[in-house]
Structure 1
Amino acid sequence: MKVAIVLSGCGVFDGAEIHESVLTMLALSCAGVPYQCMAPNINQAHVINHLTGQVTEGENRNVLVESARIARGEIIDIKNADSHDYAAVFFPGGFGAAKNLSDFAFKGSACQIQPDVLHFAKAMAAAKKPACYICISPTMIPRIYGQDAKLTIGNDQATAQAIEAMGGEHIDCPVQEFVVDAERKLVSTPAYMLAQNIAEAAAGIEAAVEATLAMIATEART
């Protein structure tokens, strides 16, 4: 029962949120579930100096190469990933999910998903395999699952309105909990959209991972 983890770079402001990524890996590892990290082989939208919060002019970084930092080098190009090989998929947050995996950070409800990411995510959805979206990454759900998909990013009103403009059904959710769309086998949790520290992020992520793995177990019994 191997699962996929889709990363979007390395660093909260321009890539995958490191705490969320590692907490997801830790929860899976503690449950005895092997995972494969993957990311698109594309340039980042931009590079942010995480000390100053400013864009670093003239610097380019690759999403797959940067994601390899978190994955300790054990990562593949999502373009080469076969959905048949995975029982579920996990999308940690960080602005990379909204800048590199999609362009939600720039275009809001008019956003599109990076083609290789969209192809893999839609293949998992078509196979009715469970998916867990964390933090800001649930903004991609309406583009993948269509109208009325239930999800949460916490309670940020502007983001929730953009999600609903895309056809999603946003549900307010506290940091330690998660929202389930049972019909689509979707789990989402706010993590650092609300978390004030790593312990709060961990509580919701661990619960969401457990719920996602329970869906796999249920599927295996049917």
Structure 2
Amino acid sequence: MVKRVAVILAGCGVFDGTEINEACAVLVHLSRAGAEVKMFAPNVDQMDVVNHCEGNPQTEKRNVLLESARIARGKVTDLAKLDVDAFDVLIIPGGFGVAKNLSDWATKGKDFSVKPEVEKVIKSFHKADKPMAMCCISPVLAAKVLPGCEVTVGHDCESEKWPSAETAKTLCEMGCKHVNKNVTEAHVDTKNKLVTTSAFMCNAPLYEVFDGVGVMVTEVLKLV
């Protein structure tokens, strides 16, 4: 049976939207698995727009849905129209757009909130006992919406390889269980049908990130 997967995007570009390499890795692995994929994004303005050459914020405004269409080759739908009954799996790649456009983690840290549309979708998939997968920073969404869930964002000890290890400690402070995993691995929370992997939370070669996302995709499809 063909597995139907909804992928939520948060714009286009690591610093203000979805991390493009992670999104592409998700889509390639889903394609290889023969899944039927449909992409969604909220129809809202981005929190900010970043010059990706310089890392500086710009004064212009951009729309999350329109920017996500760059990754989706135009085939992206307003998140408000996502019908949970039409899908078997939900996947959310990472990138700062998760922390800026799908939530306000970027400005509030552990006291953040998930955007209502996004929270509704996650809760609906969970209530329907349908599996979800999140990589890089996106597991923070599950941490907020599904209290006590198990996730990985990599390692909890900061190093050159793991510069964002403080995130793992923050998730534990929020009441989640963080499980240390290498970039080529994923953690499966069987109780919540939630699969996570660190992706670019790790300073790793692109192929290792790609392989880790592949493990995440493989494991979440097994839960259908």
* Deviation sequence 1:29-67 (CA, Å, 0-9, x none): 0110011100111111100000000111x2111111100
**Equivalent residue letter for 2:198:** P
Q: How many Å separate the matches in 1 of 2:205 and 2:99?
A: 21
The one-letter amino acid paired with 1:189 is T
Q: Which amino acid aligns with 1:99?
A: K
The structural deviation recorded for 1:165 is 2.0
Aligned to 2:140: 139
For 1:18, which of 20, 29, 42 is the aligned residue? Answer: 20
SS at match of 1:43: coil
Contact 2:154-2:165 at 8 Å conserved across structures: no
Report the residue type matching 2:57 in the other structure.
V
Secondary structure of 2:49 counterpart: coil
Q: Which amino acid aligns with 1:214?
A: K
Letter of the structure 2 residue corresponding to residue 2 of structure 1: R
> Which residue in 2 is equivalent to 1:28?
30
Structure 2 unaligned segments of length 5 or more: list them.
156-163
Deviates more, 1:179-188 or 1:159-168: 159-168
> In the alignment, which residue of structure 1 is the partner of 2:202?
194
Higher mean C-alpha deviation, range 47-56 or range 193-202:
193-202
Larger helix fraction of residues: 1
Contact 1:195 1:201 in 2 (8 A): no
SS of 1:133's partner is: strand
Normalising to structure 1: TM-score of the pair?
0.94
The root-mean-square deviation of aligned C-alpha atoms, in Å, is 0.9
1:2 is matched with 4
| Contact in 1 for aligned 2:122/2:142 (Cα 8 Å) | no
CA contact (8 A) 1:43 1:62 kept: yes
Matches within 5 A, 1:160-199: 160-199=168-207
Contact persistence 1:17–1:92 (CA under 8 A) = yes
Deviation at 1:195, TM superposition (A): 4.2
Following the alignment from structure 2 to structure 1, what is the Cα–Cα distance between the partners of residues 63 and 173? 31
User: How many angstroms apart in 2 are the aligned matches of 1:159 and 1:79?
Assistant: 29
Deviation at 1:197, TM superposition (A): 2.5
Matched residues, number: 214
Note the C-alpha offset of 1:196. 2.2
